Amino acid sequence: MPRPSTPLISRATVVEASLEIIDADGLDALSLPRIAKQLGVRAPSLYHHFSDKSEILSAVARHIAGADVARPRRKPGPNWPEYFVQLGLNFRRAILRHRNAAPLLLNYLPRDVLTGSYEEVAQFLLDSGVPIELHVQILDGMETISIGAVMMEAVRKQSTRSTIFPNVDKHSQPLLTEALAANEYNSKQLFEEMIRSFLHGIMRDHELDIVESA
């Protein structure tokens, strides 16, 4: 039987089918036979595009942590931290859209699959006047904060402002109960403020070091 003139599948359709399976039934449900069945092809056809399942998972991680994350339309300048706030929010939204796939980021970290994008962000920092000796601290910290916070949010039930810390007993944990009552932020807002505090703190410490060494 002759091969079809147009391939039945592509790398993009394999990633899309894989995400559909993961979203519906979780990571454990993903297998080459299941992907092939989803696409209406035989499993060996997948090897024309991917060497193994691990490469498919890497492509899925690249998609949700890269292709799905919109770049903020903000020009370099003194208010550069807001670029990272928006980038972090975009990342958060992309991951929470595929909660079941979130654990992939532990094995396929964005820096491992998105080196080119990190170069672009480093250029944004440089154009914004951020000293180059701070770039690694900022990029590493942003990845750690974003993945840590979003992973925690992805694996637990959606929370409200008062249930960010679940199962708090007002009798045995009165201080935490009081703190939750005084908290004005929901999970998304806490995430924003976490990023702002981190970035502005780096710049304050850097400026203090300059003053103290003068």
Per-residue pLDDT of the chain (214 residues; tens, 9 = 90+): 445 445 578 999 999 999 999 999 999 999 999 999 999 999 888 888 999 999 999 999 888 887 667 888 889 999 999 999 999 999 999 899 999 998 888 887 666 655 567 888 999 999 999 999 999 999 999 988 988 898 888 888 776 776 788 888 899 999 999 999 999 999 999 999 999 999 999 999 999 988 888 7
pLDDT value for 92: 92
Which 8-state DSSP code applies to residue 76?
S
pLDDT value for 178: 93
Residue position matching structure tokens 């890497």: 58
Structure tokens at 128: 């914004």
Alpha helices by DSSP H, listed for 63-186, are: 81-96, 104-107, 110-113, 115-127, 135-155, 174-182
pLDDT value for 115: 58
Reduced to 3 states (helix: H, G, I; strand: E, B; else coil), residue 183 is coil
pLDDT value for 4: 47
d(CA 89, CA 70): 10
Cβ neighbours of 94 (radius 10 Å): 18
d(CA 113, CA 119): 12
Residue type, 197: S
Enter the pTM of the model: 0.82
d(CA 196, CA 175): 26
Which one, of 209, 210, 202, lies nearest residue 134 by Cα? 202
Structure tokens at 91: 């990342």
Cβ neighbours of 126 (radius 10 Å): 13
66 within 8 A of 48, measured Cβ to Cβ: no
